[in-house]
Amino acid sequence: MPHHNPSMSSHPYASQPTSHFGVPDEPRPVVMILSGPSGAGKDSALDALERLGVPFHRVVTATTRPPRPGEVDGVDYHFVSMKRFAEMIDKDELIEYAMVYGDYKGVPKSEIIEPLARGEDVIMRVDVQGAETMAKKLPGAVTVFLTVPSEEELIQRLQERKADSDEQIAIRIAHARKELEELPKFQYAVVNRRDMLEETARVLWAILTATRARTDYQRVEIQDC
């Protein structure tokens, strides 16, 4: 009698071969909208994420203000003329724009579209008021509120930056209290503890990974609304 070699293909429930088993295996780039009060450490957290070797594209905003000492065009901001900014508005090249302290700022659509087309994750830093608007324009994006353990620590961080007067710090703290009221509108809240930047970065990495694995994953496309 010939030897019978059973195989999966002989099983009645596995008669149809498939190219893969389980979830789709195509690239699933994620857009993260990272927000939180001034002084919470958004830039520092993203710097720490880069040091971990996590690949992502950090969105660079366009602005009409001149560069400050040490700022690099294309890294800190895209520094453009008023004429070029007006052209970007006319050609619908911006997701959103606004005047901030007498200068225009806006997020170029290319900062989202091009890295997503390459399969890269995209992380954008926005203020708390702008996060809700951005989430509507980028359905499928994950929203993260970055904060600190206490008001006392936030005050200390702002003082250590030595960029604001005592009066300006008081205004920022009052503003932060109002911003915290918006926290329930975000999908995730991350506490950025002092001297634990790497832990904060690892939580952000975990959120990117978890979003990619969602069964209701949605590829982000810019919506005009």
Tell which residue, 41, 70, 49, 72, has the closest CA to residue 148.
41
161 flagged as catalytic? yes
The one-letter amino acid at 95: I
DSSP 104: E
**φ/ψ (deg, to 5) at 48:** -65, -35
Q: Which residues pair with 73 in a beta bridge?
A: 77
Q: For helices 166-180 and 151-161, give the axis angle rounded to 10 degrees.
A: 140
Q: Of 51, 84, 161, 194, which is the active-site residue?
A: 161
28 flagged as catalytic? no
58 flagged as catalytic? no
Q: Of 58, 65, 172, 202, which is the active-site residue?
A: 172
Task: Give, rounded to a whole angstrom, the gap between the first and last alpha carbons of the chain.
Answer: 72
Kindly list the catalytic residues.
68, 161, 172
